[in-house]
Amino acid sequence: MIPWPLAELLPHAGDMILIDQVLSYDEEQIHTRVTVKPGGLFNRPDGSLPAWVGIELMAQSVAAYAGCRARRKGEAVELGFLLGTRKFECNVEHFPAGAELVIHGLRSLEDDNGMGVFECHLTGDGIRASARLNVFRPPQAANYLEESKDETP
């Protein structure tokens, strides 16, 4: 059981939090769950989610992983960035309304500069998706964003 609410683990708010629950995590991986609910920001008219939203579900799971690690250490949850994905594959075009999806993110690389790579899998009844996510969580992200803003012409 994870002692923190999702809203305290993710730098997202309101309707942008797409995952429902952290099932488990440790130093190397996380398992999360979501039930596809109609009426969300990305839902199709029939209530389903396009398969490409699976990338965001994976990314939020990775963000929850970072949030769990930060909370366990007594640190603030920092902003991170999805830089890209490789080899996204999915056997369906959409996730139907009511489908329960489990996301597994496994850390395969992380360096001291905040760069990371995660192998992610999303599964449900007859649903299989996978991708490799490249992420970046700069130390002191707020300062990083301020520096970037100052450099904009």
pLDDT of residue 93: 97
pLDDT of residue 66: 93
CA atoms of 50 and 27, how far apart (whole Å): 31
CATH 3.30.420.10, domain 6-151, yes or no? no
The CA dihedral of 66, 94, 48, 65, to the nearest 10 degrees, is -10
pLDDT of residue 147: 63
Chain position carrying tokens 């809203």: 7
pLDDT of residue 131: 98
Element (H, E) at 88: strand 81-90
Residues of the chain below pLDDT 70 = 1, 140-153
pLDDT of residue 143: 64
Q: What's the whole-model pTM score?
A: 0.90
pLDDT of residue 137: 86
Q: What is the pLDDT of residues 106-116, one digit of tens each?
A: 999 988 888 99
Tokens of 124: 């449900």
pLDDT of residue 150: 60
Q: Which of 123, 86, 119, 88 is nearest to 105 (CA)?
A: 119
pLDDT of residue 110: 85
